[in-house]
Amino acid sequence: MLEQFEAARAIVNYRLVARGWKAAAPARRRTTYIVGLFGTGRWYVNDLVRRNIGRRAIYFTEALRCHPGPTSMIYSGHATMRHASRAQESPAFTAQMLESVRSRFADLIFVYRHPLDSLLTNWIWWRTFIRHKIMIVGISQIYTNTDDLCRDLELNFLEFKAFADGDPGFFATLPGPRFLSFPEFTEETVLFHQSASLSLRLEDFGIDPLKELAKIAQLMSVDLDLSRLRVVPPKSKPYRHLAVAEKVPQFRNYIDGLDAQTKKRIETIGYKMP
Tell me the pLDDT tens digit for each residue of 23-51: 445 556 899 999 999 999 999 999 999 99
Q: Which CATH architecture has domain 2-114+182-228?
A: 3-Layer(aba) Sandwich (3.40)
Parse the chain into domains and list their residue ranges: 2-114+182-228, 115-181+237-268
Is residue 270 over pLDDT 90? yes
Which of 5-14, 123-132, 141-150 shows the lowest mean pLDDT across its residues?
Answer: 5-14
Helix axes 182-195, 260-268, angle to 10 degrees: 30
Among the listed residues 176, 20, 165, 207, the one whose alpha carbon sits nearest the alpha carbon of residue 87: 176
Residues 6+ apart with CB under 8 A from 162: 169, 170
Q: What whole-number distance in Å separates Cα of residue 207 and Cα of residue 35?
A: 21
The tens digit of pLDDT for each residue in 217-247 reads 999 999 888 888 889 999 999 999 999 999 9
The pLDDT score that the predictor gives to residue 7 is 45
pLDDT at residue 225, rounded to an integer: 85
> pLDDT at position 217, please?
94
Q: What value does the mean pLDDT take over residues 113-140?
A: 94
Please tell me the distance from the alpha carbon of residue 52 to that of residue 89, in angstroms, as a whole number: 27
* Contact of 235 with 138, CB cutoff 8 Å: yes
What span, in angstroms and rounded, lies between the C-alpha atoms of 171 and 94?
24
pLDDT tens sequence across 64-111: 999 989 999 999 999 999 999 999 999 999 999 999 999 999 999 999
Contacts of 170 (CB under 8 A, 6+ apart): 126, 159, 162, 163, 178, 179
Read off the DSSP letter of residue 179.
Answer: P
Confidence bin at 253 (pLDDT 50/70/90): very high
Please tell me the distance from the alpha carbon of residue 19 to that of residue 38, in angstroms, as a whole number. 28
pLDDT on residue 228? 84
CB count within 10 Å of CB 223 equals: 8
Position with higher pLDDT, 182 vs 229 = 182
pLDDT of residue 166 exceeding 60: yes
- Distance between CA 53 and CA 78 in Å, rounded? 22
According to DSSP, the residues that pair with 36 across neighbouring strands are 111
Q: What is the C-alpha to C-alpha distance for residues 101 and 108, in angstroms, rounded to an integer?
A: 7
**pLDDT above 70 as % of the chain:** 90
3-state secondary structure of 68: coil
Residue 13: the pLDDT is 57
Please determine, for residue 9, whether its predicted confidence score (pLDDT) is greater than 70: no
**What's residue 212's pLDDT?**
97
The predicted structure's pLDDT at residue 162: 98
Q: So what's the pLDDT on residue 138?
A: 84
